[in-house]
Structure 1
């Protein structure tokens, strides 16, 4: 299934860090509106675009029979987040430099020498450090602790004249660039590629069941929008669309590949903030089986792995407001959480194929998977 490159460009071009996703959400709403029956927003800024299937329960049933087994009329929630990594301007120095706090899981090594856009008018700025000429040997080998955004201003008043003030956000000044072999690089592919996939699936799929295509907010700072959205929608099955960090390039001179670009979507087995999978999701067997069968139906090879050191919206989907089936499917990505995130567009298109096939497939009941009750 093709991903519309113009749509992806628009989603990436719209800027929005955690709590400032409005522009991104509006683009998503505009792109998906022709392909759904209803769109609503909540107070946090989550967007719920719903397509009512012909076979949906008219009586508001929960899609299970008297034994608690799923009977094929489940409400499905597919979700991607609208926010990107950003910086919160938290002060202005007398000589016009902007101090900032990091919004989301940044690696400080990516900050130096980068261009950013700041505030509602996307004012250009740079992040620099003390020149190496003034550094001792230890400083040359370390990452600086104190950094500022330089807008070229010479005073607080000049920063104010640029319509920048504390509380504004800055994002990377990088758009999409085409590389060889159908690969793309740029900022905010986490999670704008997933939003583009949602639009592609909504355009192509026509399932009998009801499907909610949800754009969540504030994922990068604690899955906050997902918690609110899943309470509101209360689906039977919820799947987070994400990117997945690859290890298909040399690290400290070694190369040990578990997930690689160009080898298909990643269906997560689980994720968490440590090797013990604290604070994450363990995907239930029914959801795993559903996505695996969808991959077979779409003739797509899937990758499977655990995400260590991070979580997805699926964590909240699984348990917030009551338990439900939940999982995550992801596009492999190099250089995650950086201004040069890199994906293979074919992986994204295959992710859309799998999800479209899943929406047309029955959800397995408890007696239809390994580990039967």
Structure 2
């Protein structure tokens, strides 16, 4: 499938942390022709294996998106929720959502106390998520429960894939359906050549709530080297400076040297060398990232067992952890190509 269409299909799917099955099914269907076997481990990670001689490499793309969950239903049928993953409260207000009831998917809207009845000092303060609620049109609590809503019902954003100018696209959940799309495309490229390595292409679960799937799958696989495939924020729009991020959209794939000022990942030097030299040899545009915030599955993977040499390949993405994330299709292609080319020459480095 064309990379853009694959990204659209994955991003329009719903799968908050712990509820990734819809995304996993798409990933498994799309990647199966390019691997020898697929399986799901006890944690829910999808592990697609392409067997070969030589080193073992783990390519990890998390399947989950941040979302919400019903905490309780009040007597009037309004849903009160908790945030699953790292939301900035103000991005939630007045959004339309999908409530994944047991009977059907329900449309809801996030509301709060109207500003018309707020005190002056309250109107000048941002509304907190704890003061918001979801309206699904229920008459009362019993009506909401008849619709299939209960405590623990998952909620995701109601946003569809759309095209902007100059090769940019927007949707919810590019973090990290972009990584999943890049991984599938890379495996398609890899399947067309002989590779001296065994490849574990892993769709991990629950990254947004603690890198959980990466930790358990890496422990089970114990690869020789690993690359996390994800998104990262650029510093090329208003409100952010190059001191926050020197990355730019349209400048190619991002290779992580350090993230979270070293509190997350300090990438293995040989892995960085491998990725840089591969990009240069194949004329793939790339950027190096020394980041001050945010981590990826590589943080958990590289600390597994006695340590697994790791880095991350990311696509620069604006407005991460919002329903309107934006990326460049050219950068997406650069990332997919870099993953594929790196795996094809892995035996020269490991």
Asked if residue 180 in structure 1 is aligned to residue 161 in structure 2, the reply is no
SS at match of 1:123: strand
- How does the TM-score come out when normalised to structure 2? 0.94
Structure 1: gaps of 5 or more residues: 57-72, 367-373
Match for 1:343 among 322, 327, 331? Answer: 327
Match for 1:99 among 77, 80, 89? Answer: 80
Residue aligning to 1:16: 15
Aligned-pair CA distance for 1:109: 1.0
Asked if residue 29 in structure 1 is aligned to residue 28 in structure 2, the reply is yes
Aligned-pair CA distance for 1:180: 0.5
Asked if residue 290 in structure 1 is aligned to residue 278 in structure 2, the reply is no
Q: 1:174, 1:91 → 2: CA distance?
A: 24
SS at match of 1:268: strand
Aligned-pair CA distance for 1:7: 2.1
Aligned-pair CA distance for 1:135: 1.9
Answer whether contact 1:298 1:353 (CA < 8 A) is retained: no
Match for 1:222 among 195, 201, 210? Answer: 210
Aligned-pair CA distance for 1:88: 1.2
Aligned-pair CA distance for 1:301: 2.0
Q: Which runs of 4+ in 1 moved over 3 A?
A: 254-257, 362-366
Q: 1:165, 1:175 → 2: CA distance?
A: 26
Aligned-pair CA distance for 1:310: 1.7
Aligned-pair CA distance for 1:117: 0.3
Compute the RMSD of aligned alpha carbons. Answer: 1.6
Change (3 A) 1:255 1:140: farther
User: How is 1:152-301 mapped onto 2 (pairs within 5 angstroms)?
Assistant: 152-205=137-190, 206=193, 207-251=195-239, 258-272=246-260, 275=261, 277-278=262-263, 280-301=264-285
Answer whether contact 1:83 1:217 (CA < 8 A) is retained: yes
134-143 or 294-303, which deviates more: 134-143
Aligned-pair CA distance for 1:136: 2.4
Residue aligning to 1:139: 122
- How does the TM-score come out when normalised to structure 1? 0.88
User: How is 1:2-81 mapped onto 2 (pairs within 5 angstroms)?
Assistant: 3-53=2-52, 56=53, 73-81=54-62
Answer whether contact 2:60 2:204 (CA < 8 A) is retained: yes
Change (3 A) 1:210 1:255: closer
Aligned-pair CA distance for 1:137: 2.6
After superposition, the C-alpha distances for 1:283-312 in whole angstroms (9 at most, x for unaligned) are 010000011011112201211122323211
Answer whether contact 1:297 1:357 (CA < 8 A) is retained: no
Q: 2:119, 2:6 → 1: CA distance?
A: 48
Answer whether contact 1:244 1:307 (CA < 8 A) is retained: no
Answer whether contact 1:190 1:337 (CA < 8 A) is retained: yes
Q: 2:37, 2:210 → 1: CA distance?
A: 28
